[in-house]
Amino acid sequence: MTNTFCTDPKNPIRAEGLLRLSQFIPSILPISKSAWWAGVQSGKYPQSIKLGPRTTCWRAADIYELVEGGAEIMASNRAPA
């Protein structure tokens, strides 16, 4: 049986299920919603799943993977000095 929870106690994301944008931005991924949507459009971030006309979510496993590899992603979002 695999562990379905993140091993980092500071990161409460389960590795299964679906997450709404407000569940991980900005609390887990410290970027703006507009920067997130731009990244989704460009393919930098995972594609969304539409559950209804006003309900969008992402696979928790995709967000977990993004958080685990987040150092280079967060660095690339910062403006050059």
**11 falls within a domain:** no
Return mean pLDDT, the chain: 79
What's the rounded Cα separation, in Å, for the pair 10 and 28? 9
DSSP annotation of 22 reads G
Tell me if the pTM is above 0.85: no
Choose between 8 and 27: higher pLDDT. 27
Q: Tokens in use for 68?
A: 């685990």
Q: Which residue type sits at 72? A: E
**39 falls within a domain:** yes
Q: For position 74, what pLDDT does the model report?
A: 53
Which domain, by its residues, includes 46?
18-76
pLDDT confidence bin for 72, thresholds 50/70/90: low
Number of domains in the chain: 1
| Residue matched to tokens 């507009």 | 34
**5 falls within a domain:** no
What's the rounded Cα separation, in Å, for the pair 3 and 23? 21
What's the rounded Cα separation, in Å, for the pair 58 and 21? 8
Residues in the chain: 81
**13 falls within a domain:** no
